[in-house]
Structure 1
Amino acid sequence: MTVRKRLTPAEFDFIRPHLERQKEQNIEHIRRVLVDGVKQREIAADLRITVQGVSAMVTRAWRTHVEFGSRPEGWRAVNVALPDNVADVVEEMADIARRRMLK
């Protein structure tokens, strides 16, 4: 079973500046999927593109949310000063955890 990814209007507004490479029309369609819950096949029909094309746009936006948006449930932000080599390890661990969320 596929889990439908959803964002609140505020969460979407927060990542919107990071979507600037998308056409404005596409940003609105991505919003319709992630915020309003419109099915991707409906958006594909509106845009006259494949469902896979819509899925790719939505996936990029979701990854933007994971990277720049609010913290996922159960996560906490930690601000510490570390030696460079230790900070590199911690940043890599965070990247691995984020990538696992995208699967």
Structure 2
Amino acid sequence: MAMRHGAKLSYEDLQQQARAVLNESEWTQREMADELDVTRGSVAKAVTKPGSRYQQLQMRIVEKLTDYRIEREEEVYFRPLREDGIDDRQELSE
């Protein structure tokens, strides 16, 4: 997976990137864990499981092994409540 300047990554993209750069490096999971002061199990999960739980560690792995710095970007939406009382927040996540 090639990285591009300015690319937006999903949780899955970030996990795959962390796995790819670690696998392509000379670092073992144990060495990376020691360098980042986390457990080897945490590194193993970070490179195999996408999601917000491992996002920070995935970012650290990618930054350690590449010339890229990752910036976290979040979007928050404010919308008026519907008069009929139906909660339509699910529409935003689709």
Query: Normalising by structure 2, what TM-score?
Result: 0.42
Query: Normalising by structure 1, what TM-score?
Result: 0.39
* Structure ID, larger Rg: 2
